[in-house]
A and B are shown apart, each in its own frame.
Chain A
Amino acid sequence: MSRPKPDFLAILRTLRKHGVDFIIVGGVAGVLHGAPLSTFDLEVVHSREPGNVDRLLSALEELDARYRTHGDTSLKPRRSHLASAGHQLQMTEAGPLDLLGTIGKGHAYGDLVPQTTELDVGKGLKTRVLNLAALIRNQGRDSAGKGPGPTGHSAPDTGGKIQEVSVFTAASFAAQFLYN
Chain B
Amino acid sequence: MQSAAVSKDPQTGGVCPVAAASSGQLRSPRPGLPNFCVSKKTRRLSLSARGHDRILQLARPSADLHSVGPIGIPHISEAIQSWLLDRNYWACAGAVLVSYTSRTSIMPNRGGPGKFNAPSPQPTHSEDGVDLTLIRWMLSLTPAERLEVLQNNVRSILRLRGEQTET
Contact = CB atoms under 8 A, between A and B. Distances in A.
A119 B143 CA distance: 7
Interface in B8-30: none
Nearest to A38: B153
Interface stretch (A51-59, A63-71, A85-93, A164-172): A164-172
Contacts of A34: 135, 138-139, 141, 146
How big is chain B's contact interface, by range? Answer: 20 to 34
Nearest to A162: B135
Given A3-B164, A5-B165, A6-B158, A169 B135 contact: yes
Contacts of A28: 147, 150
Top 8 closest pairs, chain A to chain B, by CB: A170-B128, A36-B134, A122-B144, A34-B138, A166-B126, A119-B143, A34-B139, A32-B143
Interface string B102-140: 000000000000000000000000101111101111110
Contact of A40 (B128, B154, B167): B154
A8 B135 contact: no
Contacts of B128: 166-167, 169-170, 173
Interface of B: 126, 128-132, 134-139, 141-144, 146-151, 153-155, 157-158, 163-167
Contacts of A129: 143
A163 B136 CA distance: 10
A44 interface: no
Contact of A8 (B131, B151, B164): B151
13 contacts: A5-B167, A6-B165, A7-B167, A8-B150, A31-B149, A32-B143, A39-B150, A162-B136, A162-B139, A166-B130, A167-B126, A170-B130, A173-B130
Nearest to B145: A122
B151 A9 contact: yes
Contacts of A121: 143-144, 147
Interface of A: 3, 5-9, 28, 31-40, 119-123, 129, 161-163, 165-167, 169-170, 173
A35 B153 CA distance: 13
B132 A31 contact: no
A36 B146 CA distance: 9
Contacts of A123: 144
A9 B126 contact: no
B30 to A, nearest CB: 26
A166 B132 contact: yes
Contact of A166 (B135, B141, B164): B135
A123 B143 CA distance: 11
A154 B149 CA distance: 27
